[in-house]
Structure formats: C-alpha cells, structure tokens
Amino acid sequence: LVCTQQELLPCKSFPETLLFQLLGLSIATLSTVTHYGLHFTLISKVSLDSNAYRAIHHTAFYFGICLSMTLILAALLSSAATVRESQCLTAMGFFCFALAFCGLIPAACWRYTHSTEVEDSMMDVYDFVYEEVRRNTSSFRRHELTAIHEAFLCCGKHSPFGDTTDVENKTCPPGQVHDEGQDCLQEIQDIVKKHMDFVFSLLGITIGFTVYGMFLTSFLWFSIPFSSNLSRKGKYILR
C-alpha cells in the first residue's frame, strides 16, 4: 500500500484560497468606496491642512489597498505551494499572512483607542465652514456648505449664536425647511459612525482569517516533507 501525497495533504482543496481572495477584494472595494465616496471626498477637499481628517482619509485608502494586495498574494502563494508542494512558496505565503496580521493589529488598536477621531474631525470641518459662511467672510465657503448639505441631505446646525436661518436659506437644498431637516453635525456623526463600525467589523473578521491562514500555511509547511517521506515507502529503486 502506497500513501499518496494527495491523501496526506488535505489542503489540496481550494475553498480557503478563494475565501482569502474574496476577502482581499472586499477590503479593496471598501477602501475605494471610502476614498472616492461623495461624503468622504467632499469633506477631504474642504478640510484644512491643520485638520487631521485629510491625513486619515489618504492613510486609510493606501493601507486598505496594501492590505488587500497582501491577502490576495498570500492566497495565491498558498495555492501555488499546495499544487507544487513547495516549502519555499509556503514560507512566503506565511510571511504575507504575518505581514497582514502585523498591520491589522495596530489598525484595530488605533480604531479602539481613537473611537471618535474620524467623526470628530469631519464635524470640525463642517463646523468651520458653517461659521465662515455665518460671518460672511467667503462666498466660496458658501458653495462648499451648499455641497455638504446636498451630499448629507441635512440642513444647518443648532448654533449657540442664535438665529441662523439666513445661512440655511442660502445653503440648504430647495424646499427643505430647517426645522424639519436633519442637524448636519448629528447626521455626519451617524453616517460616519455606521461606516466606521462596519470597517471595524471587517478588520476583526480579517484578523481571524489571517490567523487561520498562518496556521494553515504552517501545517502545510510541516506536512510537505512528511508526505514526501511516506510516499517512498514500499518502493524500490534499481541501480
């Protein structure tokens, strides 16, 4: 009875590889939507250099693209290592999973320790633009405020300086009454919080599958030489 390598390597099936590729594509899609989405792009263009949102906006995009490429590369290397039974390719796949894990942990910790920084920075941008329009210091800011109102489907804010209906009449979408409309600060906070909660959940799922990928490639790395030794039992070589 000769044991074949196919019997000793259960990693010959490829559902895990496809799963990692889909996960990488999901992260790339989410990063692209976040970077080029109307809400986030508009706030990024309006924000000042002193505001932290623009740096967060670009950093999150590049981090997401690099992470998705790393996961897809790790999946392809693992698949090739399984087919060719190469320990070198398996080690490279493990390194890619470990690299992704080392990037995911700081990102998750940052989101946990700075739970409201993204929301606060976006609300600061809106508050700055609103006050600039209220003081009538810039007509260009009035166009920016109008674009924010149309994008977030909100109208003005509750200001401590008293009546601000003049600002809303000039910048809110036609037919929208301030008393019936959404407060923009609250609307921005709600939208961004839901989006960031989804991002944080995806980070948690990715961390779990990355750990699983490291265990999978480790098992494959140890099983390849073991399988090769067993496959020679019961065979004879004539010299």
Give the pLDDT of the chain (239 residues) as one tens digit per residue.
333 444 444 444 356 778 888 999 999 999 999 999 999 999 999 888 788 899 999 999 999 999 999 999 999 988 888 888 788 888 999 999 999 999 999 999 998 898 889 999 999 999 999 888 888 766 788 899 989 988 888 888 876 555 556 777 777 877 655 455 568 898 999 999 999 999 999 999 999 999 999 998 888 888 777 655 444 444 545 45
Q: To the nearest 10°, the Cα dihedral for 9, 12, 16, 18?
A: 160
Contacts of 94-97 spanning 24+ positions with Cβ under 8 A: 94/214, 94/217, 94/218, 94/221, 96/70, 96/71, 97/71, 97/210, 97/213, 97/214, 97/217
Question: For residues 149 and 94, what is the distance between their CA atoms, to the nearest angstrom?
Answer: 47
Report the predicted TM-score, pTM, of the whole model to 2 decimal places.
0.80
pLDDT at 51: 85
Place of tokens 């929301």: 119
Q: What does the domain layout of the chain look like in residue ranges? A: 10-114+183-230
Residue 104 burial by CB count (10 A; 0-12/13-18/19+): exposed, middle or buried?
Answer: buried
Question: For residues 147 and 125, what is the distance between their CA atoms, to the nearest angstrom?
Answer: 13
pLDDT at 159: 60
Instruction: Report which residue type is found at 87.
Output: Q
Transcribe 81-113 into DSSP letters: HHHHT-HHHHHHHHHHHHHHHHHHHHHHHHHHH
Instruction: Report which residue type is found at 96.
Output: C
Residue 205: DSSP 8-state: H
Question: For residues 112 and 210, what is the distance between their CA atoms, to the nearest angstrom?
Answer: 19
pLDDT at 164: 54
Question: For residues 46 and 93, what is the distance between their CA atoms, to the nearest angstrom?
Answer: 42
Map 119-184 to HEC letters. HHHHHHHHHHHHHHHHCCCCHHHHHHHHHHHHHHCCCCCCCCCCCCHHHHHHHCCCCCCCCCCCCH
